[in-house]
Chain A
Amino acid sequence: MRATPRLVDLPPGATATVQELAADPGLRQRLEALGLRPGQNVQVLRRGWWAGPLHVRVGMTELMLRRRDAARVSLAA
């Protein structure tokens, strides 16, 4: 079992709060710039098939991000 849940594990429709971004500076900034920063609520709208990207909503912004990148976003339990 993982200690903290990650964005990549969130099922479609579920909402959670971002806890930490364990990403390199480039990705972290990109995520933060698009509003995905600690303390924000994030909802997974759908997950692409064949390990495809996630479609998520943060605030008023909708994003797609790869699972690899979503694995770097940890959520408050």
Chain B
Amino acid sequence: MPNTGKSTLFNRLTGHHAQIGNWPGLTVELLQADLTIHERALHLIDLPGIYDLRGHSEDEAVVRRFLEGSAVDLVLVVLNASQLDRQLRLALQVQQLGLPAVVVLNMADEATRFGVSINAEALSSSLERPVLPLSAKYRQGIEALQNAILAELDRNAAQPAEAVTQLEEQLAAVDAGLDGAMAALVARSVHLPDTWRDRRTRQLDALLLHPLLGLPLFFLAMALMFQAIYAIGVPLQEGLASLLDQFSQAVLTPLLAPLPAWISGFLLEGLYQGLGTVMAFLPVIGLFFLAMGVVEDSGYLSRAAYLMDAFMERLGLDGRSFVLSLMGFGCNVPAILGTRVMRDRGLRLLSMLIIPFSLCSARLNVFLFMAAVFFPARLGGLVIFGLYLMSFLAALLTALLFRGRFPSNEPLVLELPPYRLPTAGQMFSRAWSEVKHFWLWSRRFIILGVVAVWLLNNLPAGVEPASSASLAGRLGTLMQPLLEPIGINPKLTVALLFGFIAKEIVLGGLAVIYGQADPTVLGQAMAADVRWPQALSFMVFTLLYTPCLSTVAVIRSESKRLGFTLLSVGWSLLLAWLVSFAVYQGITRLA
């Protein structure tokens, strides 16, 4: 069953050593891991969470094909203990197929809290399989489960494992009686409370889902969250960046000194600085995933989907698109990956089209720097706020323009789980694995991008780096007819080219272009070269055009369509140009 804590249990049993593997005959990738229980080697495979073995969803088909194609020794059926009134169906179907199984009633802690009492022995004797209440999150009952798994394997050792045959026929034969059987089983062995499930959840919902207060409260919470991430993350990032810088000056520079200048320049200014920029960014990303994990695990995110759905529906989207765009404010990449929950292709593509307009933290970095350089403190905050507003408006406009091209009619039925207190350990290990993933994954692109930028700046050989004679400089001059009308001079053009790879490199790029590494001096050099309407136009363009190569790459891999990827990139460039044009020309005409 989905959302029963299956992943949590999987991690508890295997200790995070899972790999993603392709399974023969299935198009999806399944998580699998080796584990040992009392010195016995086992192999555990995580199948998609499903409600009904007869279901029509892709996940349900995957599980059917898996059971028909592989001989398994034992099935673990993971159910939510407090929702057995609807979840026992799956256990009954597994029984019907005669599969050896252990039935896990997870979230037993919640069942107790809500006043659900379960007679596990009665269930076990009806299902003819061991039934174990446990709590994966709080590590209760894991030992007992391990023992039960071994005992069941031993008990069935005499019969060789077999793949299921005629699965659909077998299930169809009993389907008519299944509802009755389930109701009878629940009546016999589960006692449900007559009163409301959970007082705490009810009280919180009365406040957080309040028709008037709900949305303001939610946005307030989000604003505070971003504020906190930024307040903690930025000093960390700066500290890390200066540490890396010191390391390069004290250790790497002398170490590489014997090498020819262009090699050491390439290694230091190209590779090391590029990797350093991303690495310095990891704390912010980690904090973001941590905060997002807490919000998600607490159950608040599904409430946000409820609150925003009416508005999003009018844009051809739904509450989930909103939640994903919100995640995009940290980083667009995981947000785009998150559209996997959507079945309807139109809805999914439209969501992927709007997410890149979310002002991610990498862009915020650039804006904070430029706002401080070009505007007095009082106005700077307003500029940043205006950019956030523009980010919303761009997403809104995009949805309105394209909803006709990507129509969808996916119904939206979501479970609103009870509020849960996330545990620190779980949150940290999750944020850690997200950060690791991000690092491994973005490294490829960033290395390539940085290398390209460095080459552009330093070729042809012997040229003054980033001068107008370099390839980058020539490219900047070449683009003038297009970019001059929006106030972007050749130097800024090169910075925008850097930004196409990743916004994290924009500041570093500007530093190379203006030949100033110290932020204050760089600011002065820029202010001497560029007027504020140009700076504003640059910021608007940076906000709206393609966020980074990584985002383009996930859009490509998730949409599986080159045309759509080009549309996304092309539209964002066009919109960026048009809005920058309006802003720049408007200001210069008026002033």
A interface, CB within 8 angstroms of B: 23, 25-27, 29-35, 37, 39, 45-46, 48-53, 55, 57-66, 68-69
Is B86's beta carbon under 8 Å from chain A? yes
**Which of B67-75, B239-247, B413-421, B505-513 is the interface stretch?**
B413-421
Please tell me if the beta carbons of B309 and A34 are within 8 angstroms of each other in the complex. Answer: no
If A30-B413, A60-B192 touch, whether A66 touches B86 (CB-CB below 8 Å) is no
New A-B contacts (4) at CB < 8 Å, excluding given A53-B309, A64-B413: A50-B311, A59-B83, A61-B85, A64-B302
Q: Chain A residues with Cβ under 8 A from B116's Cβ?
A: 60
The minimal Cβ–Cβ distance linking B537 to chain A, given in whole angstroms, is: 36
Alpha-carbon separation in the docked complex, A26 to B82 (Å): 25
Please tell me if the beta carbons of B415 and A34 are within 8 angstroms of each other in the complex. Answer: yes
- Nearest residue in B to A47 (C-beta to C-beta)? B211
Please tell me if the beta carbons of B309 and A64 are within 8 angstroms of each other in the complex. Answer: yes
If A29-B55, A29-B57, A66-B313 touch, whether A59 touches B411 (CB-CB below 8 Å) is no
Contact partner of B412 (CB less than 8 A), chosen from A33, A53, A62, is A53
Please tell me if the beta carbons of B85 and A66 are within 8 angstroms of each other in the complex. Answer: no
Please tell me if the beta carbons of A26 and B413 are within 8 angstroms of each other in the complex. Answer: no
Please tell me if the beta carbons of A55 and B415 are within 8 angstroms of each other in the complex. Answer: no
Alpha-carbon separation in the docked complex, A48 to B412 (Å): 14
Alpha-carbon separation in the docked complex, A15 to B412 (Å): 22
- Nearest residue in A to B55 (C-beta to C-beta)? A29
Is B137's beta carbon under 8 Å from chain A? no
Is B52's beta carbon under 8 Å from chain A? yes
Please tell me if the beta carbons of A69 and B309 are within 8 angstroms of each other in the complex. Answer: no
Please tell me if the beta carbons of B411 and A64 are within 8 angstroms of each other in the complex. Answer: no
If A60-B85, A60-B114 touch, whether A29 touches B416 (CB-CB below 8 Å) is no
Q: Chain B residues with Cβ under 8 A from A25's Cβ?
A: 56
The minimal Cβ–Cβ distance linking B114 to chain A, given in whole angstroms, is: 7
Please tell me if the beta carbons of A33 and B51 are within 8 angstroms of each other in the complex. Answer: yes
Q: Chain B residues with Cβ under 8 A from A32's Cβ?
A: 51-52
Interface of B: prevailing SS: mixed
Q: List 6 A-B contacts (CB under 8 A).
A: A32-B52, A55-B416, A60-B85, A65-B414, A66-B412, A69-B412
Alpha-carbon separation in the docked complex, A26 to B305 (Å): 21
Q: Chain B residues with Cβ under 8 A from A49's Cβ?
A: 211, 310
Please tell me if the beta carbons of B416 and A65 are within 8 angstroms of each other in the complex. Answer: no
Please tell me if the beta carbons of B209 and A46 are within 8 angstroms of each other in the complex. Answer: yes
The minimal Cβ–Cβ distance linking B154 to chain A, given in whole angstroms, is: 34
Please tell me if the beta carbons of B56 and A29 are within 8 angstroms of each other in the complex. Answer: yes
Is B238's beta carbon under 8 Å from chain A? no
Q: Which residues of chain B in 331-378 are interfacial with respect to chain A, using CB atoms and an 8 Å cutoff?
A: 343
Please tell me if the beta carbons of B414 and A64 are within 8 angstroms of each other in the complex. Answer: yes
Q: Chain B residues with Cβ under 8 A from A55's Cβ?
A: 205, 209, 306, 416
Is B162's beta carbon under 8 Å from chain A? no
Please tell me if the beta carbons of B51 and A63 are within 8 angstroms of each other in the complex. Answer: no
Q: Chain B residues with Cβ under 8 A from A68's Cβ?
A: 411
Contact partner of A59 (CB less than 8 A), chosen from B86, B205, B305, B313, is B86
Is B121's beta carbon under 8 Å from chain A? no
The minimal Cβ–Cβ distance linking B489 to chain A, given in whole angstroms, is: 47
If A59-B83, A64-B305 touch, whether A50 touches B310 (CB-CB below 8 Å) is yes
Is B197's beta carbon under 8 Å from chain A? yes
For the complex of A and B, the 5 pairs showing the least CB-CB separation, nearest first, are: A33-B51, A52-B310, A35-B86, A59-B85, A69-B411
Is B484's beta carbon under 8 Å from chain A? no
Q: Chain B residues with Cβ under 8 A from A69's Cβ?
A: 411-413
Please tell me if the beta carbons of A31 and B211 are within 8 angstroms of each other in the complex. Answer: no
Alpha-carbon separation in the docked complex, A64 to B211 (Å): 15
Alpha-carbon separation in the docked complex, A77 to B272 (Å): 72
Interface centre among A23, A32, A53 (most CB of B within 10 A): A53
Please tell me if the beta carbons of A27 and B309 are within 8 angstroms of each other in the complex. Answer: no
Please tell me if the beta carbons of B413 and A31 are within 8 angstroms of each other in the complex. Answer: yes
Is B179's beta carbon under 8 Å from chain A? yes
If A25-B56, A29-B52, A60-B197 touch, whether A34 touches B306 (CB-CB below 8 Å) is no
Please tell me if the beta carbons of A65 and B412 are within 8 angstroms of each other in the complex. Answer: yes
Please tell me if the beta carbons of B411 and A66 are within 8 angstroms of each other in the complex. Answer: yes
The minimal Cβ–Cβ distance linking A56 to chain B, given in whole angstroms, is: 9
The minimal Cβ–Cβ distance linking A69 to chain B, given in whole angstroms, is: 4
- Nearest residue in B to A39 (C-beta to C-beta)? B179
- Nearest residue in A to B183 (C-beta to C-beta)? A39
Q: Chain B residues with Cβ under 8 A from A63's Cβ?
A: 413-416
If A29-B57, A52-B310, A66-B309 touch, whether A35 touches B85 (CB-CB below 8 Å) is yes
Produce 1/0 per residue, B76-87, CB < 8 A to A.
000000110110
Alpha-carbon separation in the docked complex, A34 to B319 (Å): 18
